[in-house]
A = this chain, B = another copy of it.
Amino acid sequence: MNTLSYALLGLIARKPLSGYDLMRQMRERVGPLWPVGHSQIYPALAALERGGLARHNVVEQTERPDRKVYAATAAGRQALRAWIQAEASGRPLRDEFLLKTYSMWLLRGGEAQELIERERERRARSLAEYEGTLSRLRDEWKGEIDRGDSPLFASARVLEYAILHERDYLAWCAETLRLLGRGDPS
């Protein structure tokens, strides 16, 4: 059982889904948090089923290929709870952009500023995207989203975190540009 399996379990514990659905949900909702390709999903679902943590029904379709819709079993929900409460493994950030800034002293003239400016713009775009998703979620689930025991509350909190994180990145870029500007006025 790896982290990916728990991510999938977390989704099918909310609502039964097919492998294809899971692929889209992982891309759209959990995407920035834990991206997965469909080639990982299908074997993982088979493994969950072998372990008794999920079960599937075949839904036959005439106009499209049949779907295998997976749902979490009681044992699956139990395993998910246990994983959540287990000691965190302390996985690292692995931030490629920061690793690049670590060597930005090699750049000349305004190259460092350009690099950071480009990143600032990318982050601003993804911030706007998260904010859009969150406000759509809020509009759609007005009452439920504030209840602490609701799946929607958890979704919203994760999005809030992503938003905080992007804001932070923007602030860091702005401050770095300011500091670079002082020492080296173009």
**Residues of A near any B CB (own CB < 8 A):** 3, 6-7, 9-10, 13, 30-35, 77, 80-81, 83-85, 88-107, 111-112, 115, 119, 122, 146-151, 153-155, 157-158, 160-162, 164-165, 168, 171-172, 175-176, 179-180, 182-184
Known contacts A13-B106, A80-B106, A106-B81, A157 near B101 by CB under 8 Å: yes
**Sample of 13 A–B contacts (CB below 8 Å):** A7-B99, A33-B94, A84-B100, A84-B103, A85-B107, A91-B95, A93-B93, A104-B154, A105-B151, A148-B179, A149-B184, A164-B168, A165-B168
The one of B83, B101, B168 that contacts A154, using a Cβ cutoff of 8 Å: B101
- Distance to closest chain B CB from A14 (angstroms): 8
CB–CB A102/B155 < 8 A: yes
A84 lies within 8 A of B105 (CB): no
Tell me if A's interface is mostly helix, strand, loop or mixed: helix
A125 to chain B, nearest CB (A): 11
- Cross-chain contact B106 with A158 (CB below 8 angstroms): no
Query: Which of chain B's residues have a CB closer than 8 A to the CB of A157?
Result: 101, 172, 176, 179
Contact A83–B100 (Cβ < 8 Å): yes
CA of A154 to CA of B88, assembled, Å? 30
